[in-house]
A and B are shown apart, each in its own frame.
Chain A
Amino acid sequence: MASEGEEGEVPSQRDAGAVAWTIWQLIDSVLPTGGFAHSFGLESAAQAGLVFDAHTLEKFAVTAMENTGSLLLPFVFAAVEGRVMSLEEWIGLDCALHAVMSNGVARAASVGQGKALLRLAGGVFKEIAGEVAAMRVSVMGKPPRAHGHHALVVGRLLGLLGVDASTAQRAYLYLTLRDVLSAATRLNLVGPMEAALLQHRHAQLAERVMGKYANRSVHEAHQIAPLLDTLQGSQTLLFSRLFCS
């Protein structure tokens, strides 16, 4: 009986279970994609004196998350929805995102993390090895035809692994918040307890960001935070720094 049950009604549940494990793995800090080398501009904002305590950090995190929502979620959405999208279309999106990300520091961070994830994915997600290999060739081949931007790599991987668009976009926002708060603890702006509290409190806000920016077309992608953008651009010129971006 039990075995019949497992084979009869459970496949969808088993699929859902597999998808959940995939998501957890992709957003886990154990996954070595180098996310923790990046502070989303927090380090330069802190050195400029803009962020100095829990309150100013909260404002920063809110803005960083909303900027991810307005600028990058449309690209995550396009890539995850494009499960059947050809590689050519994905490369086209990647070149467009490269032109959108004109801030050199953010651009390098996006490319660095995207490439790291792509390298890893080929060895880990064997079920989509063919598609991943094709993406790798386009990014790392000579000459490269794409840059491998993070939002598009994450989006396409999640899409290919069967994750729905809403979950993928939510996961991408989560990555932003996780990395900002982790950077904040290491910059000694808040302690780990306070960071955990902030993370919990920001969940509601993240849902509002989802409500406003999820499922948008890439033509609607825009910046909302010129001050942070300008400061982040100075990251590589800081005299001493912990983070790449």
Chain B
Amino acid sequence: MAFMDSGRRSGWEKLLGPSFKDRALTGVIKVDNVAGKSAVTRTFAKYPLKFLLPNKIVPSGIDAVWIYAISYGGGIVSNDSISQRVEVGPSCTAVITTQSSTKIYKSVEGKFCEQILQAYVGREGFFAVLPDPITCFKNSKYTQVQEFYLAADANLVLIDWMTSGRVDNGESWEFELYKSINHIYLEDVKADCSKSTPLFLDCLCLEQGVGTSVAERMRGFHVVANMVIYGPKLAAFRVKVQKKVQELTQKAFTRRKSCDLTARLRDSSLSAESPSTSDPLLFVSCSSIGPANEGLVVRAVASTTALMYDFFKEQLAHIDSLIGACPYAGR
């Protein structure tokens, strides 16, 4: 089972098949400790990917490198493949984000777009993946594979999210395929370094189902998000997020709220009224992961993108002192 011996073969090869060898990387970033500070020591990007490395975002006194991954035109056209590798050295901090949502344009001749990210985080390193959501346009096909290898005491915040489409244009859940794979492996300290154990193997695939369409399954919600928090540096952050999620859950499940939702669903099934026009709704839940519950997975669904931004902004404020700023500020 390749799941289990992931480290023995290249993770790329395992996930994508041997054909991966023929694919060229479109981006490489390496962050190392230089004179006691995190610094980008290697960067390479080619069409359609571009990196921006601003140095005025993080206030002095906070050690973090910010990377904007940008695609030309703000989106990915069919048959495009973006594959990047990020290495965050021991004790370094790196944040990777985007400037706005990533648009996935319609599929031409059945071809799809893909984004692949493979990241290594060294001992006591910290990697934050905080992109804007993926927005799949009508008839688009998109696959995303993100794989993380964490050394001992490494830390990770991963946000992976998507929206239903160009909702303002009346387009919602009309893409053909959205598939997002997030795998997190822990380096096995006892065994040799080439072995790693799976911590989180998640794959979400949204396409026309056997019995229900994606829209039917989503019931008026337009945003789907996952946030994974892992590592010793983030223990306090996890507790705060967990508390907030529980608070939100209890609020969402109070009788009054539930009745509102029920009424809304009944109405919308009768009048086909767009649910986004009624009260905004956010549902969140969280679960611990890892052998010693040293990780947290937060799942969230919301009726509007703004609601999800607000939720993330509120949570990320807790790690301001680690990453220096919130990438979602102003959105």
Chain A positions near chain B (C-beta within 8 angstroms): 44, 47-50, 52, 56, 59, 62-63, 65-66, 69-70, 78, 89, 92-93, 95-96, 99-100, 102-105, 107, 205, 208-209, 211-212, 218-219, 221-234, 237-239
Q: A228 vs B204: C-alpha distance in the bound complex, in angstroms?
A: 13
Known contacts: A92-B3, A238-B253. The answer to whether A233 contacts B261 by CB under 8 A is no
Cross-chain contact of B205 among A219, A223, A232 (Cβ < 8 A): A223
Report whether B246 and A237 are in contact in the complex, using a CB–CB cutoff of 8 Å: yes
Number of A-B contacts (CB under 8 A): 145
Report whether A59 and B249 are in contact in the complex, using a CB–CB cutoff of 8 Å: no
What are the 5 closest A-B residue pairs judged by CB atoms, nearest first?
A233-B285, A104-B287, A49-B262, A62-B211, A222-B203
Does B307 make an interface contact (CB < 8 A)? no
Known contacts: A100-B201, A205-B210. The answer to whether A63 contacts B249 by CB under 8 A is no
Known contacts: A59-B212, A102-B297, A234-B249. The answer to whether A50 contacts B265 by CB under 8 A is yes
CB contacts (< 8 Å) of A69 on chain B: these are 210
Does B46 make an interface contact (CB < 8 A)? no
Measured CB to CB, the closest approach of chain A to B181, in angstroms, equals 8
CB contacts (< 8 Å) of B3 on chain A: these are 92-93, 96, 99, 218-219
Measured CB to CB, the closest approach of chain A to B176, in angstroms, equals 14
CB contacts (< 8 Å) of B265 on chain A: these are 49-50, 52, 56
Name the interface residues of B262-296: CB closer than 8 Å to any CB of A: 262, 265-266, 283-289
Q: A105 vs B3: C-alpha distance in the bound complex, in angstroms?
A: 23
Measured CB to CB, the closest approach of chain B to A64, in angstroms, equals 10
**Interface band, chain B:** 35 or more
A-B contact pairs, 15 of them (CB 8 A): A47-B258, A48-B258, A52-B262, A62-B210, A89-B1, A95-B4, A96-B4, A96-B198, A99-B289, A103-B287, A103-B299, A105-B287, A226-B204, A227-B217, A230-B284
Name the interface residues of B227-272: CB closer than 8 Å to any CB of A: 246, 249-250, 252-253, 258-262, 265-266
Chain B positions near chain A (C-beta within 8 angstroms): 1-4, 179, 197-206, 209-212, 216-219, 221, 224, 246, 249-250, 252-253, 258-262, 265-266, 283-289, 297, 299-301
**CB-nearest residue of chain A to B288:** A104
Measured CB to CB, the closest approach of chain B to A53, in angstroms, equals 9
Known contacts: A208-B211, A218-B3. The answer to whether A227 contacts B218 by CB under 8 A is yes
CB contacts (< 8 Å) of A99 on chain B: these are 3, 198-201, 289
